Amino acid sequence: MMKAKPVNYKSTCSYCGVGCGILVEQDRQGRLRVEGDKDHPVNRGMLCSKGMNLHYAMQDQSDRLLFPQMRWSKGHPLARVSWDTAMKRAAAVFKSLTGKYGPDSVGFYLSGQCLTEEYYLANKLVKGFIGTNNIDTNSRLCMSSAVAAYTQTLGEDTVPVAYEDLEKADCFLVAGANPAWCHPILFRRLENHRQQHPEVRLIVVDPRKTQTCSQADLHLQLIPGTDVYLYHAIARVLIEEGNIDIDFITQHCENFEQYRRPVFEYTVSEAASTCGIEESDIRLAASWIGNAAGFISMWAMGLNQSVIGVNKNLALISLHLLTGKIGRAGSGPLSLTGQPNAMGGREVGGMATLLPAHRRLDNPLHRQEVAAFWKVPAVPERPGLAATKLFEALESGEVKAVWIMCTNPLVSLPNANQVEAALKKARFVVVQDISGQNQAIPYADLVLPAAGHFEKEGTMTNSERRITYLSKVTAPPGEALPDAEILLRFARAMGFKGFGQKNMAEVFAEHAALTRHTNIDISGLSYKRLQEEGSMQWPVPHPQHTGTSRLFENARFFTESGKARFQPVQPLNLSEQTSPSLPLILTTGRIRDQWHTMTKTGKVNKLKQHISKPFAEIHPDDAAARDIREGDVVVVENTRGQVRTRAVLTAAIRKGVVFMPMHWGKLLGQNFSRTNNLTSSLTDPVSKEPDYKFSAVQVKKYVKP
Ligand code: SF4
């Protein structure tokens, strides 16, 4: 008898923003296996350890939410209910609260893991129909500083570079990122390129000696928070040595003189001493950048997650404008997104301060366009509450109900104890997730089971603007539903028109139509094209168009004048201060084989083999001063909370700095303390991105009471 062939489905990895293409094979027993898609231009068949083991996480159903659950009143246990009852209750509560206290009394908190279609529907529902901009996302925590900086310099939130530029560059500056661990396939492409072209330079800027630094030609191990001093000093050297592109600056940029002023406020030697690095290293970095034919900067959370995150981004992007190294082969600023669809969310205006297709909330014409498209009277003008502010407003009672979708805020938001207090105080909490490990569930009045990554279809956009179609591979377990279907049911229960879409292809077509005649126009794309022709980079303005790899090749930017805008920025860090009682700087981050709050990667034994327990890296001198030895249990603390963890002594971190991974919380029966008990609620004033990379702490050896 002939054996039935296993079926292959095309999809993307559900972890980082690199956006690797995968083939998911399902055998006759329903078992899944993942391999890299050789035809996908991002990874050409390669996968990192997380992607390679994705099927284990997807197949493990042990923690899945299988049916809707509801508390009939506060203090009562969660009880199983039908979808109909769940939706009726949600609609009744949201109608009652918005009727009594106004639309801004409710909020929605989404995730960069949501598919674009889900993001689109949620934003249409909340901004267009409920009538509030209180819809934000955990992408706020990872890249909103880059969004603001791109907008201020290039006119819109636009990544101008394509990954294919990596193979054309001859100088890389990687700042506040550890792509060797966190964006591994991109870093492998960079490594391959350097193996073939040993003259290609790699500069890494990081207070820690990471795996990425081990490959660097130059590591600038700066003091946390001094980044702008460094980029200004590099700019000053470039300007003083005439190693800039005057023609590009005069013809295609504006505001250069204003930008120059803060750049010249400090000498290179003063900046070097502020940053804690050698002046000669700054000069060397400047000469490599200035003399490169192709210069790419890549950055992630080290720049973005800062109280001056936008300034850090602006100062770095300015190096491209100064040297004219943007919009041409092998050159440009490439911000790395931590989540698989942070970019798709940005396209649909998936934050409290954005509108679809890069329209501006503060532009009445843009609001009218969107309202007319959605057939609603208006889109509210007032910006909504960004992530941390939304939960603060929940605690103060200004916001009364929150709908949490596809994210685990009690582990990932800063100042987690305050977030917990907010959820305790909320009148109504909805948690929509695939996993029973979501730590907001004990505070939820309604728990909605969602379908997982392989259990629904849709699209995602990676860090280079590439949109990929994801096939549905398998049916969701129990009564779980795709997030889009849950949103559609809720919208209908609320009595809203405009949510009669029959499938995701229709939702995508609606989103694409709303981008028509904008700079991100994807009106030429459809599910059919994505399925038949493969992934494409926006813009794709007509059905014969095959996508746009690099932007601004004509040096016309998306500003009104068409010129890129230099922005003058002050270098001073505005984080909380260290003090004699809290003398150390805590910086948080990720490890190689875990992702976010570990609700997926934490289930995979192979991934735990790398690092299985939380830890705090501390410099040997700081440890000696506290009588701390390798492996000791220590308490890291400040006024916001305490974390008990294990000390790892390493000279790879600067003296005075402590590093802790952000992944662990109470997971699968384990009860580790959350790193985010310690991080501060301070945010960048423009991007509202939290200051995860700079919290004042003390570390003590743990003494049993
Ligand atoms: Fe997945 Fe990112 Fe690894 Fe690619 S690099 S396989 S997208 S985690």
Tell me, using a 6 A CB cutoff, whether residue 185 lines ligand 1: yes
- Give ipTM to 2 decimals: 0.99
Which DSSP string corresponds to 166-181?
GGG-SEEEEES--HHH
> Does any domain span residue 442?
yes
Residue 542 covered by a domain = no
Q: Closest Cα to residue 272, out of 302, 236, 308, 244?
A: 236
Residue 303 Cβ contacting ligand 1 at under 6 Å? no
Pocket test for ligand 1, best of 11, 12, 14, 18 (most atoms within 8 A of CB): 18
pLDDT in the model for residue 93: 98
One domain, residues 41 and 76: no
Tell me the two tokens of residue 581. 């009682």
The C-alpha atoms of residue 543 and residue 71 are separated, in whole angstroms, by 49
Considering the domain architecture, whether residues 45 and 78 belong to the same structural domain is answered as no
**Positions of the chain with pLDDT under 50:** 1
State residue 671's pLDDT score.
61
Structure tokens at 441: 């569930």
**Residue 232 parent element (H or E):** helix 227-240
Which one of 477, 500, 523 terminates a domain?
A: 500
Q: How far is CA 582 from CA 162, 330, 638, in A?
A: 43, 44, 7
Cα separation of 356 and 353, whole Å?
Answer: 11
Q: Which whole-number Å values give the CA distances from 422 to 111, 223, 389, 394, 569, in the listed order?
A: 19, 34, 11, 5, 35
Question: What are the start-end ranges of the E strands in 324-396?
Answer: 332-335
Beta bridge partners of 69: 80, 447
| pLDDT given at position 663 | 87
Ligand 1 atom 2, closest CA? 16
In a domain? residue 536: no
**How far is it, in rounded angstroms, from Cα 433 to Cα 134?**
20
Owning domain of residue 16: 7-59
d(CA 19, CA 14): 8
Query: Do 329 and 197 fall within a single domain?
Result: yes
**Any domain includes 520:** no
CA of 339 to the centre of ligand 1 (A): 10
CA of 396 to the centre of ligand 1 (A): 39
Pocket of ligand 1 contains residue 114 by CB under 6 Å: no
Q: Does residue 305 share a domain with residue 188? A: yes
* Residue 670 lies inside a defined structural domain of this protein: yes
Are 330 and 348 in a shared domain? no
Q: DSSP code of 478?
A: T
With H, G, I as helix, E, B as strand and everything else as coil, classify residue 209. Answer: coil
User: Are 351 and 492 members of one domain?
Assistant: yes
DSSP track, 245-262: -HHHHHHHEE-HHHHHHH
- CB 179 less than 6 A from any atom of ligand 1: no
Token pair, residue 8, equals 């292959």
State in Å: Cα 53 to ligand 1 middle.
10
Q: Which atom of ligand 1 is nearest to the CA of 36?
A: 6
Please report, in angstroms and rounded to a whole number, the separation of the first and last CA atoms in the chain: 69
CA of 661 to the centre of ligand 1 (A): 19
Residue 569 placed within a domain: no
Write the Ramachandran bin of 88: left for phi over 0, alpha for psi from -120 to 50, otherwise beta: alpha
- Ligand 1 atom with minimal separation from the 13 CA: 1
CA of 536 to the centre of ligand 1 (A): 18
Whether residue 307 lies inside any domain: the answer is yes
Do both 235 and 323 map to the same domain?
yes
User: 486 in ligand 1 pocket by Cβ < 6 Å?
Assistant: no
Q: Is 702 exposed, middle or buried (0-12, 13-18, 19+ CB in 10 A)?
A: middle
DSSP secondary structure string for all residues of 388-429: HHHHHHHHHTSS-EEEEES--HHHHSSSHHHHHHHHHH-SEE
The CATH number of the domain holding residue 328 is 3.40.228.10
Report the separation in Å between the CA atom of 46 and the middle of ligand 1, taken as the mean of its atom positions. Answer: 9
Atom 4 (ligand 1) nearest CA? 20
- Beta bridge mates, 536: 467
Which of 470, 500, 530 is the C-terminal boundary of a domain? 500
Structural domain includes residue 564: no
CA distance 446 to 90: 8
Predicted confidence at residue 30, as pLDDT, reads 82
Let me know whether 307 and 350 are in one domain.
Answer: no
The pLDDT of residue 66: 98
Q: What are the tens digits of pLDDT across the range 246-267?
A: 999 999 999 999 999 999 999 9
Q: Decide if 497 contacts 375 (C-beta within 8 A).
A: yes
The CATH number linked to 440 is: 3.40.50.740
190: part of which helix (H) or strand (E)? helix 184-196
Q: Contact, 175 vs 206, CB < 8 A?
A: yes
Place of tokens 């809203």: 496
Q: Which pair of structure tokens corresponds to residue 130?
A: 């409920």
Which mutation among 22, 48, 462 tests ligand 1's pocket best, with the greatest number of atoms within 8 A of CB?
A: 48
Q: Please indicate, yes or no, whether residues 355 and 451 belong to a single structural domain of this protein.
A: yes
The tokens describing 59, both together, are 């197949």
Are 20 and 55 in the same domain? yes
Mutate to test the pocket of ligand 1, among 24, 185, 341 (most ligand atoms within 8 A of CB): 185
Gap from CA of 409 to ligand 1 centroid (Å): 23
Model pLDDT, residue 6: 66
Clarify whether residues 263 and 363 are in a common domain: no
For 628-650, how does the pLDDT look when each residue is reduced to its tens digit (9 = 90+)? 999 999 999 999 999 999 999 99
Q: Check if 52 has its Cβ closer than 6 Å to any atom of ligand 1.
A: no
- Structural domain count of the chain: 4
Residue 146 identity (one-letter amino acid): A
Q: Is 475 exposed, middle or buried (0-12, 13-18, 19+ CB in 10 A)?
A: exposed
Are 194 and 311 within one domain?
yes
Mutate to test the pocket of ligand 1, among 43, 462, 463, 464 (most ligand atoms within 8 A of CB): 43
pLDDT at 1: 47
Task: Among 500, 515, 541, identify where a domain stops.
Answer: 500
Out of 15, 339, 460, mutate this one to test ligand 1's pocket (max ligand atoms within 8 Å of CB): namely: 15
CATH of residue 36's domain is: 3.30.200.210
Residue nearest to atom 3 of ligand 1 (CA): 48
User: How far apart, in whole angstroms, are the C-alpha atoms of residue 432 and residue 146?
Assistant: 28
Residue with token string 């803060």: 262
